[in-house]
Structure 1
Amino acid sequence: MDHITETPTMKGPADRFTGDVYLNMLQAPAEPGRLAVGLVRFTPGARTNWHSHALGQTLYVTDGIGLVGTRDGNIVRVAAGQTVICPAGEEHWHGATGTTLMAHIAMVVGDGTGDGTTWLEPVTDEQYGQPS
């Protein structure tokens, strides 16, 4: 058993996020397992770029209110205690609302060559929007 008492907080890189995002890796993929888990905190208005995961992604919201959007223009509002499952290959983004913080635990299973994430272009302000 490994008892991890602290993980360093890293600022999310500007080539993958808009706004201020902070990440604590809880589990890095290590053979034979391929699970990657991170606690991600978004300040108001902060969000990921468009991206997809070879084997999908599960998001569990731990705090605040957030948004998850897909290429078809669907944006769902999520709150603490809710889970979103993004299917394999689906291009999507996630982040905080314009007025609230949001934190989630992001879980992905790597594809054997990394975490299986393909990072794409930033989400525009028009795509980000605010659902009613």
Structure 2
Amino acid sequence: MKIIACGGVATIVAPQTYFTGRVLQTPIIEKESPARLRATLVSFEPGARTHWHTHPLGQTLYVTAGAGLAQSWGGAVQEIRAGDVVSFAPGEKHWHGAGRKTAMTHIAMQEALDGVHADWLEQVSDEQYGG
């Protein structure tokens, strides 16, 4: 058994390379090979969001607080709220983040394929974010 005490892992400001706006990330777990799981608590301030991206083995989000938005390439922007579970298929191009006026926090869970958890793409434009 391994217990990581509350406060034992630092929260970081997410890099603008992959996010628009202020986003905080707190690692929950990243298993070493042969396991592949990574889980992160991600908190988005209003208006903040990921860039477009994909995951080689898909991604699941569990929204823990607030309300936000998510979109798959070619689809409509969808509202997501605390208690919602959002699942993206392997290779599905998507983004997710806070609402325009609401903060949102989720746990992001994905597995790595050959050490890759995500493939980051272009920014979500203000027009795309606006729906």
| TM interval, short-chain normalised | over 0.9
Residue number in structure 2 paired with 1:2: 2
Residue number in structure 1 paired with 2:23: 21
The one-letter amino acid paired with 2:110 is V
RMSD of the alignment, in Å? 0.9
The one-letter amino acid paired with 1:120 is L
Report the 3-state secondary structure (helix = DSSP H, G, I; strand = E; otherwise coil) of the residue aligned with 2:96: strand
Residue number in structure 2 paired with 1:90: 92
- Return 5+ residue gaps in structure 2 as ranges: none
Counterpart contact for 1:70–1:93, Cα < 8 Å: yes
Q: How many residues align?
A: 129
The one-letter amino acid paired with 1:3 is I
Separation of aligned partners in 2, 1:29 and 1:41 = 22
Separation of aligned partners in 2, 1:2 and 1:32 = 18
Give percent identity, aligned residues only.
46
Separation of aligned partners in 2, 1:71 and 1:32 = 31
Which TM-score applies when normalising by structure 2? 0.95
Counterpart contact for 1:12–1:23, Cα < 8 Å: yes
Separation of aligned partners in 2, 1:13 and 1:29 = 22
Separation of aligned partners in 2, 1:73 and 1:58 = 18
1:70 is displaced (CA, Å) by 1.4
1:45 aligns with 2:28: no
Separation of aligned partners in 2, 1:68 and 1:29 = 27
1:15 is displaced (CA, Å) by 0.8
Which TM-score applies when normalising by structure 1? 0.94
Counterpart contact for 2:57–2:89, Cα < 8 Å: yes
- Return 5+ residue gaps in structure 1 as ranges: none
1:99 is displaced (CA, Å) by 0.4
Give the ranges of 4+ consecutive aligned residues of structure 1 lying more than 6 Å apart after TM superposition: none
Report the 3-state secondary structure (helix = DSSP H, G, I; strand = E; otherwise coil) of the residue aligned with 1:126: helix
Report the 3-state secondary structure (helix = DSSP H, G, I; strand = E; otherwise coil) of the residue aligned with 2:97: strand
